[in-house]
Structures are given as structure tokens and as C-alpha cells.
Structure 1
Amino acid sequence: MSVSFSPPVSFAALVFLFALSSVTFAAEASSGTNARSPPTQEQWMALADELDGRLHTALPVSSPCFEIVNGVHVGRNETECAIVQQGYTSPLFRSPRFSPRMFPHWETCQKTAAKCLLDSSQPNNSVAWEGVDCEQGSVSPYYIDVQSAIDVQIAFRFARETGAVLSVKASGHDYKGRSGAPGSLSLWTRNLNEMSYSANFVPEGGNESFSAITLGAGVPFEDVYAFADANNVTIIGGYHQTIAASGGWVMGGGHSVLSPVYGLGVDRVLQFRIVTPDGQLRVANKIQNPDLFWALRGGGGGTFGVVLESTMLVEPQMKLQIASVNFTQTPENAQQFLKLIVDQTLKWSNEGWGGHMRASGFINVNPLLTLEQAKESVQPAVDFALSQNGTAVVEELPSWQAFFSKYVVFVESAIGAPVILGTRLIPVDLFSTEAGKAKFLGVLDNVIAQFNITPGVVYATPFLFNHTEGSTSVTSAWRNSLWHMSYHGQWAYNSSVEEIRAQYELNSNMTQMLRDISPDSGAYLNEADVHEPNHEESFWGDNYPALLDIKRRYDPDGLLDCWQCVGWKGLEDERYKCYL
């Protein structure tokens, strides 16, 4: 077995794996209403033969650093461990490997503390592995390296015949643990990495052409942006190198700092190619399978099928105005700056700004203004930062790729450490009246004072985008909100179950303050509180009943399921036994 790209499974490896999976499924079989019998060794061997080397085994990425793995003394592999330690907090290390997730608590069983983690703050800290058993946790012990639709069709048939649990993973950039399940057979789409550009793409069955890029399900945005730039076009996408553009990002909504002008990912996608759980390879666009196309434009990934590729509308290469403002945060200037940006947000939104803001500065972009207009627009924030002995830069860059390379790569979210989010879409009415602003600022000040935690703001709602009503299935709250606001929770690699539970509760309690002042709004399903109350309403609003009907139509046997997704089976299902 390998900690990175596992070799094709051998008979010996499969025997070990079958023993491990039998324990997993046996535990499920004794647990109640959702009991499953384990596939037999003969069935697994037949699957391995049918997939001709594309079925692989997997252990937790940190396993080479441990003497004991899943109760077996295997000895430490110093060479492999050094590679893991060096790359442990690097997204470029984690993304192309199956076992790791960007946020490694989803590799563990949080409820039982079964884990195999290093200390993300000091990966060479031997306390993490000395005398510790590396346990499989929630890492799927086997996966299919998907190369074509046939691989997915085989997996769906296998799950239907044997009762095996399926999960779907691309990059593992997932805040809610939906790309894995303990004991599952994972469909790994990361190596579907083809890209093509067409100045005259015509969706199948249609007659209208578009400038578009077609992307395999595993292509990360870092590669997409470079490819788009080489073709002198701009694709609207995420704020991290390793997000898979065709995966859960777009199917859950897909925000971008260019979304205020150009829309969400679901507004940009023109076509999907997907294998649905009934085993059919389908094209979904406005003409063919339009119900499925609507569901995929906001209904979430890992739910309606396994997407093999998507095609997205692109814009010409464009100049961008950039405003970067930073200063050292104190309790006093944090509250003052939050008031400033709350006061300015409606004006800035009407001018086309998007970006990422916090209590100590922002990095905002604008595709509509000239450089002189941009300087005038953000002057109040520039003046404030300079008054705090901070820095301020307002400049023009020639393309999205130039902006991404200069600014984004260096400020991406932390990787390799446990991180959870609680988020809310903040509606325009809290920015448009003095009473609304006072109510909102009261909550922000309260959180800073009580918890010493300041919010993060993704300034990326499609405020100026002229969308067609009902064309996507995301919550309508996206269309009348100005901020996607978040709180972060973190803990150490060796935190106890109760310490972890306390972080979830704290995050939920802080997020509840935002729900209380925006009761008719919603949340972004890809980045919401793991324990979002009334999640069907928060994520989809009035669209949920139709989404559920479509889910049942294309997945009548319920082969795909994930945490708080459309048709979620709920806490009683054994695949969620590791959630707190």
C-alpha cells in the first residue's frame, strides 16, 4: 500500500482490506434500522478483476509515521514519513492524493477519537505517533480511481448488488465531511483532468453558441486559471488553488469574488456530463434532462450522480482594480473598521466590488471601475488603515491570473489543521438602513467582546448579476444578500472529543446570532455550520421539495447520500456514525 497514489490492489492487500471492511460492516449490521451486510471476499475480488487495476487500497496519509496501523505492528517508514511531514500543511501535497482531506478531522472518527493525525503546528512532533495506534477513522479503505463513465457504472451496480456504501471525492476541499464515509467504497474523480476551450461551444441539442471551457471533474482551479489565461479568457471561480471546479463547488452554488458582477458558478455552467445512480450516462443542460440540470445548479455534489465534466461560460480577459488594505488589529480598531465597511458596503456593492474582508483589512477586486474611480471609492478604508500605521495599495492588474498569482495564493485558508465554519448570507436590508446597520454591528461587537473572535467576510454574492428567476436551485437568499459571513472554529490534533464538541457548539451559537437577525435569509451549503438547523430551508428554501423529487427520480435506491444533502437519510444512518 502507498500513502499517495496506491498501486493496483494485490490479493494480499485485498485480504487485509476485506478483514478491515468486514469489521466495519459487521458493526453496522448489528446497529439497527440501516443494517448492511458486508460484501463477500468473492464479490470484492470480482470487482477488482472487473476494474482491471483501478481499485486501490488506502490508509490514512500519516500512517508511515506510526509503528502500529489499525492494530497491526508494521514499523515506521522514515522515508515516507518525512515526505508526509514536509507536505502536511500544503494543499499541493494533499490535493493529488486520495487519503488526505484539506481539513484532516474528516479523516478521523470524531465521535470515537479514532484517528491517525500529525501535529499540524509541528508535523515532526513525535508525541503524535509514539505509542499511538494509527486508526483508519473515516478514510475509505478502498477507492476506485475513476477514469471513465464505465468505472462509475460498475460502482453503482456493485453498491446495488452488495449494499456497499459509496462516497465521492475529488480534491477533498470539503468543510463538512461529505466526500468520505467510514468503510465506504470511494469514487475518486481527481484524475479526470482534461480541459478544452471553445469560442463557439454549443450545448448538446441546442443551437446557441458560447465561449466556454470544458473541465474534467478533478481539475483544480489553479490549472483552470492558467489554462483560461493562456486562451485569453477569464473563468469565474473559487479562491483556492485546489478546489475542483466541476465538483461540489459549482453544484453547491460556487461563489467567487467576481460573482457580484458575473454571477455564481451555477449561473455560469452550461452543461454537465454525469453518471446517475440508475447507471445512465447523461448530458444535462437546458435542452437535455433540464430537470437534472436545474438540480445540479445548486442541489449539491455527491447527491444526484457522479459528474465527469462540466462546461462553463467564460469572459474575455479583463483588467481588474485591486484594493489591498491591512493593519494590525486591536479590539478598538476592529470595531471601528467593521463599522466603516458596513457603512460602505451598499455603495461598494453597487460599484461592483467583491473580495475578502476582515476586521483588520481586505483584498477587494473590481472589474467595472477605472483605477482613478477605484482609488476614490475605497479612500475611506485607505485613510483608516494608514491612520493605524497599516498599508494600502490600490492598483490595476491586467488579468485574473495576475491577481490570483500575486494575492490569493498567499492568503488562502489554513490547510492540514481542523477548521469548521458557521456562515450566513447577510441580506441587503441590514446595510440599507441605520436601524439595520446598528442591529448588525451590535451582533458583531457582541461576538468580539464575548468570544474574542472576529468574522470573515466573503464579499461574493451575485448582487449586480442579472439572473433568470428560477433558473438555479440555490436558495434565493443569494440574490438579495451582500455578504457571505463566517466564523471559524479550530482545535489541536490531540483535542478530546468533548473539546471538539465544544468548538462545534461555540461555532453554532455564534452563527445563531446571525440567524436571529436574518430569519428570512439562508446559508451557503458548502460552507455552512455542520449542524445547521432547518438546513433544507437554509440551503434551498422553496426549491427543496422539487429537488427531493428529482433526487428520487434519478436515485430511486438511495445509493448516494451525504451529510445534510438533498434526500439525507439522517443521523440514524450508519455512514454518519463518526459525526458528533
Structure 2
Amino acid sequence: MASLRKAVAAIVLAHVAPVVYSQTLVIDNTTVSANESTVAPAAASVDAGITNSTADLFEGETLQLTEAVLANLTDLELSNVTLFSFQNESDLAQNLSKRSLSGLCKTYPDDPYWPFPSTWGLFNVLLGGGLIQTVPYAASCYDSFGNRNTSKCDFITNNWINASIYHTEDPTSVNAVLFQGATCMPPAFVPSKSGCTVGGYPTYSVSVRNVAQIQLAVNFARNLNLRLVIKNTGHDFSAKSVGMGALSLWTHNLKDIRFFKNYRQGRYNGPAFKLGVGVQAFEAYEAARKNNVTIVGGEGRTVGVMGGYLLGGGHSPLSSLYGMAADQVLSMEVVLADGRFVTASETSYPDLFWALRGGGGSTFGIVTSVVIKAYPKIKVTTMTYVLATGPTVTSVQFWAALRAFFDGFITYTDAGNYEYFRIMKVGNDQYSSDMGPWFAPGMSKSQLEALVTPLFSRFKELGVEVNPVYTEYDDFYDAWHASFPVEPWGSNAIRQASRLFPKSNWQDAAKLNATFDVIKNVVEEGAYVVAFNIAAAPKTGYPDNAVNPAWRDTVMHAIMVSTWDTTKTDRDIKAASDRLTFGWMQRWRDVSPGAGAYMSEADYIEPDFTQAFFGSKYPRLYQIKQRYDPFGVFYAHTAVGSEDWKMSEMILGNLPSQNNQFGFSYQHEGHA
């Protein structure tokens, strides 16, 4: 690694054809290719001991951009090297206004200040060949990018909705394609479309392998006023990982995992993991099983658990026992908007550490790894059943049985349980609700049976019979893997919204009646509901962090879904979309005033999102945002500080489009 300190001794740029470069570097007089399999040329190996890190840095974290590296590049007289320099407080504000047509918008491809091809070429060389020009995932279905391939298109089409694992392996594909513009979906989903365009996907992505690449990209985007987005896996209802004309940082490949059997930090003494931000749920849980421990993560298999999931709070099948995923964090490594790489912990950048744990992704910095608590191995019992109308169950009986289940929500979460269930209309006055699963961590089969005996006794009194299936597992991983299949992905005919219903609604008979009625009513009108009986205020307590206070009071997180036929008119589709936000969801808000919603699974145009997603913590979060990112280098829809910007175009008249020419204009007074 020592020789890497001389990695920037020489970088040769040989211009061939319009935008093709021969990329080489010299390390200790040996010439090697500068590509994604080599270390980024603009990096130096930094001794982990000189940082405030609470755990040894991963190898990719020791490769950093430094002032010394920048000085070496300047000595080589490479053009435009200043574009990669760290933030200079004295001239940034002055220069920012000169780097777009109006001085108020981000710099986009049609702007004269957009980087020349030669500048992108230099950027790619400094990255070590990590720059990717976007070709949408479904481009093989069209002639637009010259890569049409029928067999590949058939595979993508067959796996578009039900195989998120393939989308997460693509640099730009995201779940929320509606807000991207749905500009390149397989023809089977958009039969009227004749071509494929980049649309709201970023123009370029950086396939991140080390910290230096992130720093180069952050500095480049900040100094040129480019829109910068971050994609880990692309799981988010609000399309935070896309943006027309943006530069994207694809952190999916930061997958280092290190286990500490005995980890000491502050008041914590016990097992812990250090996980790269690209580690997905299935990888994290496999590592925990291998080391005979349990960690808190989500139910979705392909979600990047150390990315936006954790940064947004992160609810879990274990939340009723251990709290939110953000509650488990001991420290984080993060690249800030000024390009510096720091450790955030209780003793280092404590305000940033507070904000990162629940304040949302793509907001305060780019996290590269997280140290989290681990717990002893835990047994789990699951139970599934289907409650449905039919020959012997009327709709009146169905709703009465479902209400009996609702009545026990506080009891179940007090026992540490988590129920994941769905409610849907399946025909005229016909309904179904499948429990899949009832998740009881720490319980044996007999203990769970005892807990639910009063419920099933009540079912029988109502004349309703279900056939519960119990399964007892020795380890969390086995229960999780058997219970939660790969999640669906990428429909352009769907919108979702959610609400965190407070415990107080269950402690007052009138409020519970009203709550159940609005759930029932929207299902009767065609909404599909996915819900979780969950509480995130464990008896053992939880840390002071930025997690939405509504999570600490909730006993039900409920998601509603509105769908439509894409062959309908825009007017009909808008009506279905508006009904979600202003009709059905408003009823839910009305019965839970002052509560909130989970930012990662929420209404794209949630009214008063600052209150709904952050509650009383928003003023402090906004102050921290301005302290660490006063010029809006990090922007994401409905993130902290996003209200200072305005998108220029809308979908269906009121859905901010991530596919628009002029981007968003800075509205915050004093920073125009």
C-alpha cells in the first residue's frame, strides 16, 4: 500500500477519436492500466490511525483524496484539476452563481457550463475508470442505444416486477419508475412507447469502490454545481436515487463486512459489526448467522440495510424488541459535502451523528460504512393464516374478525411481536386478509399459541374459522428467509402512501372505532393495504437520535396502495392518484392528528412532509443541514432542506418530475 502514495506520479492522457482515452498511471516506475480493477489514480493510502474512526477502516476507506494528491495533480499541470478540489469557503458562494444560466438552477446538459467531454474523460481517469454513462436497464428492448437484444429483453420483461435482485445490480434502475418518467420500461408494460430514453435517470454514474472516488465526485459536482444523487439499491417510494442530468454515486459494491466479538465504544461493550453501505439484508443476515448473533434489519431481502433504509430510521421485524435500525448505530464513516471524510459518533461530529441516525438518506453526506450493535442468537416462531370471506364467512363476519385482531395490537407489541398482514377487496363485498407472517422473536410455539388463544377464541365466537400454521425456528435468519420473499419492483401504475397510527388511538374506544373505520372504508373503495403491527419504543429504551418521534408512539404502520390501468386517460389516472393523497390518506391523517409517516414508504406528495416525516426534530435537522451542506450539494425529494428547491415540471399536474430539463431552483433566501 505504501507505493500507492506515488500513484499520481504520472497520468497520461492520449486523445484518440472524439472522446476516447488511453488511461495509464505509473506506480514506482511501473506503468499499469488505469481501470476499475485498479486503485483510483487520484488516491493515497491513508493510515487509519490518523482518523477518529472507532473501528479500523476498510481498505477502500483508506484510499482517500488528500490535499497532497491534489497538489501532485496540479504539479502535473493537468487541466481542470481545480474542479476536484475541496470546498473553499471564501469563493464557493461567489462562483456557484456563475455555473448555470440563471445562477439559481443546477447545471444541466443543455447548459453552456456543462462539462466538456474531455473534462468527463479526465474525471474518468482520476476515478480509475469508474465512470459509467447511463444506458437504462431495459434498453435492450429498443433500438435507441444500439444494444437491442431479444433474449435479454425477454429476461428483463419476465423479471421486471418480481425480481428486484436484478434491478439492484444495475447502476441506475430504481423502484419508483413513475417519478423517473417511465422512459425505458419493457414494451409489455408500456405498449404505446416506441423508444427508450435516459429520462430522469442520471447522465453518469460512478461505480464506487473507495472513498477517493466519492470525494472526487462530490468535489466535481459541487464545484460545477451539478445535481448529485446517490443510489445504493434503489429501494425508495420517492425516487431519491434519480434525477435528470445528474451525476450518481452507486455505492452498491461497498460490501465489506467485519465482525467484532467484543467491541468497546463509549458505554457499549458487546458484539458488533462494521458493514459497508452496500451490504444488503440477505448478506447482513447471513453474516450474523455465521457468527451466531442477531442484527436489526428490514424484511426486504435486497434492501441496502446500511444505506437509505437505516438513515431513514429503518423498521424491522425486531423493532418491538430492539427498536429501529438507526437505534443500533455506534459510528459511521461519511464523506461530507465539502469533500472531507470523517467519522461520526457520539464523540466525533456528534450533531452529524445525531442527524444521520434517522434524518434521511441523500441529505447530510455519503456514508461508506456503519458500526452497529449485534445481539445474541434468538429463536423465532412464526404463524400464518388467511382470513377471507367465502361460503361460510360474510363480509360482516370478516370485518368483525379483523377488528378483533386490531383490538390486541398493544398486547402483541408489548410481547415483542410483529405482524405483517395485508387487506384487500377481491370482489363485490368480498375481502381477504392474509397474515404473512406473525413474527414472534424470542417465543416458542407454545408461547405464541398462548398469546393468540384469546384472538382465535373470539374468531370462533364470530363463526370464523382459520387454519393457523406455526413454525418454530432456532435462529432469526431461518425465520426471516422462510417468511419474506423477494419484494416486487418497478410498476408505473401505482402510488403508495403510509401512516404511523399512534398507541393513543388504541387507548380510547372512540378513536379506535374511527381508526378501524377509515381502514375498512378505503379497502371497501378499492385500496390495497399492507400493514405492520409494530412498536419502536422497546422496554430497554432507545437513544436520542433523529428518528421520527411518531415511531416511538406507534402500534401500526400502514401502507395503502392505489393502482390504475395505464391505458386509461391522463384524467382518469390523475383522479386515481389524487384520491390516494387527498381522499383516502386524508381520512387517515384526520383520525391521527399530529402523528406521522415513514419517509421511505410514504406519499410522494405528503402534505406538510417536514412534520409527517420528522416531527418536532425538523428544526434541528434543518440547522444541521445548513451547517454541513449550505449550498445544497445533496438534494433528494422530501429530504431535509428540499423545500428550499422547486422542481420545474410535474407529472399529472402535481407530482414533481425527476425527468425535467431545468431541474430545481434554489429558493432559500441568502443562498441564491
TM-score range, shorter chain: 0.7 to 0.9
Per-residue Cα deviation, 1:374-431 (whole angstroms, up to 9, x for no partner) = 102113554677865643112321111111221112xx54223244321111011111
Match in the other structure for 1:432: 507
Instruction: Quote the Cα distance in structure 2 between the aligned partners of 1:577 and 1:417.
Output: 16
Residue 578 of structure 1 aligns with which residue? Answer: 658
Q: Distance in 2 between matches of 1:336 and 1:116?
A: 45
* C-alpha displacement of 1:563: 0.5
Aligned with 1:67 (options 125, 129, 143): 143
Partner of 2:636: 562
- Cα separation, 2, equivalents of 1:133 and 1:338: 47
Q: Name the amino acid aligned to 2:241.
A: S
Q: Does 1:505 align with 2:578?
A: yes
Contact in 2 for aligned 1:463/1:479 (Cα 8 Å): yes
Match of 1:168 among 202, 214, 230: 230
Q: Which moved more, 1:154-163 or 1:237-246?
A: 154-163
Q: Which amino acid aligns with 2:408?
A: Q
Cα pair 1:59 1:139 within 8 Å, conserved: no
1:103-182 alignment runs, 5 A limit: 103-106=176-179, 108-109=180-181, 115-118=183-186, 127=191, 132-182=194-244
Secondary structure of 2:514's aligned partner: helix
Cα distance, 1:468–1:221 mapped onto 2, change above 3 Å? closer
Q: Is the 8 A contact 1:220 1:245 kept in 2?
A: yes
The reply to whether residue 455 of structure 1 matches residue 529 of structure 2 is yes
Q: What residue is the counterpart of 2:428 in the other structure?
A: none
State how far apart, in whole Å, the 1-side matches of 2:568 and 2:487 are: 21
Does the CA contact (< 8 Å) of 2:244 and 2:659 recur in 1? Answer: no
Structure 2 matches for 1:93-492, cutoff 5 A?
93-106=166-179, 108-109=180-181, 115-118=183-186, 127=191, 132-203=194-265, 206=266, 208-329=268-389, 331-359=395-423, 360-362=433-435, 363-382=437-456, 390-409=466-485, 413-418=487-492, 419-449=494-524, 451-468=525-542, 471-492=544-565
Q: Is 1:82–2:158 an aligned residue pair? A: no
The residue type equivalent to 2:183 in the other structure is K
Paired residues for 1:50-65 under 5 Å: 50-65=126-141
Aligned to 2:105: 34
* Cα distance change, pair 346–304 in 1 and its aligned pair in 2 (3 A): same
The 8 Å contact of residues 325 and 385 in structure 1, kept in 2 or not, is answered as: no
Distance across 2 between alignment mates of 1:282 and 1:136: 34
Report the TM-score when normalising by structure 2: 0.75
How far does the alpha carbon of each residue in 1:250-306 deviate from its partner, in whole angstroms, 9 at most, with x for none?
A: 110100021011110111111111101111111111121111110001110011011
Q: Secondary structure at the match of 1:242?
A: coil
> What is the DSSP-based 3-state SS (H/G/I as helix, E as strand, rest coil) of the residue aligned with 2:338?
coil
| SS across alignment from 1:566 | coil
Q: TM-score, normalised by structure 1?
A: 0.86
Deviates more, 1:247-256 or 1:452-461: 452-461
Query: 1:39 Cα shift?
Result: 2.1
2-structure distance, mates of 1:275, 1:345: 41
State the shift of 1:339 in Å: 0.7
Question: CA deviation digits over 1:103-151, x for unaligned, max 9?
Answer: 4324x32xxxx611126xx57x9x466xx02121111121001111111
The offset of 1:361, in angstroms, is: 2.9
- What secondary structure does 1:186 align onto? strand
Q: SS state of the match for residue 440, structure 1?
A: helix
Matches of 2:572 and 2:645, distance apart in 1: 21
SS state at 1:136 partner: coil
Q: Distance in 1 between matches of 2:323 and 2:310?
A: 12
**Alignment partner, residue 3 of structure 1:** none
| 2: CA distance, partners of 1:65 / 1:153 | 35
Q: Which residue of 1 aligns with 2:7?
A: none
User: Contact 2:379–2:444 at 8 Å: present in 1 too?
Assistant: no
1:544 to 608, 612, 618: 618
Residues 340-349 or 458-467, more deviating? 458-467
- For the residue of structure 1 that corresponds to 2:599, the secondary structure is coil
Distance 1:75 1:238 in 2: 36
In structure 2, distance between residues paired with 1:519 and 1:439: 12
Aligned 8 A contact 2:281 2:300 in 1:
yes
Select 2:604's aligned residue among 505, 530, 538: 530
Closer, same or farther: CA 14–268 of 1 in aligned 2, 3 Å: farther
Deviates more, 1:380-389 or 1:285-294: 380-389
Tell me the amino acid that sits aligned with residue 439 of structure 2: V
| SS at 2:388 equivalent | coil
The 8 Å contact of residues 259 and 465 in structure 1, kept in 2 or not, is answered as: no
Partner of 1:22: none
Moved more, 497-506 or 432-441: 497-506
Inter-CA distance 76–241: structure 2 relative to 1 (3 Å threshold): same
Cα distance in structure 1, aligned partners of 2:473 and 2:648: 51
Give the counterpart letter for 1:87 in structure 2.
N
Q: Deviations over 1:532-555 (max 9, x none)?
A: 111111111121111111111111
2:379/2:443 contact within 8 Å kept: no
CA positional deviation for 1:570: 4.7
2: CA distance, partners of 1:235 / 1:557? 36
Moved more, 379-388 or 539-548: 379-388
- Structure 1 residues 329 and 505: CA distance shift in structure 2, 3 A: farther
Q: Secondary structure at the match of 2:506?
A: helix
In the alignment, the residues of structure 1 paired with residue 116 and residue 389 of structure 2 have an alpha-carbon distance, to the nearest angstrom, of 59
Distance in 1 between residues matched to 2:536 and 2:125, nearest whole Å: 48
Is the 8 Å Cα contact of residues 326 and 361 (structure 1) preserved in structure 2?
A: yes
State how many pairs are aligned: 538
Give the Cα–Cα distance (whole angstroms) in 2 for the partners of residues 77 and 492 of structure 1: 28
Tell which structure's C-alpha radius of gyration is larger.
2
Structure 2 gaps of 5+ residues are 1-14, 21-98, 108-112, 424-432, 650-655, 661-672
Percent identical pairs in the alignment equals: 27
Per-residue CA deviation, residues 147-204 of structure 1 (Å, 9 max, x unaligned), is 111111101111122121100000001111001111100000000011111112234x
Structure holding more helix per residue: 1
**Which range moves more in the overlay, 161-170 or 388-397?**
388-397
Q: 1:373 to 1:179 in 2, by over 3 A?
A: same
Q: 2:595 aligns with which of 521, 524, 527?
A: 521
Equivalent position SS for 2:601: coil
Q: Please say if residues 378 and 442 of structure 2, whose CA atoms lie closer than 8 Å, have aligned partners that are also in contact.
A: no
Instruction: Give the whole-Å Cα distance in 2 for the aligned partners of 1:93 and 1:260.
Output: 31
Mapped to 2, the partners of 1:438 and 1:389 lie a distance apart of: 24
Letter paired with 2:658? C
For the residues of structure 2 that align with 1:243 and 1:320, how far apart are their CA atoms? 22
Give the whole-Å Cα distance in 2 for the aligned partners of 1:194 and 1:420.
Answer: 35
State which drifts further: 384-393 or 298-307. Answer: 384-393
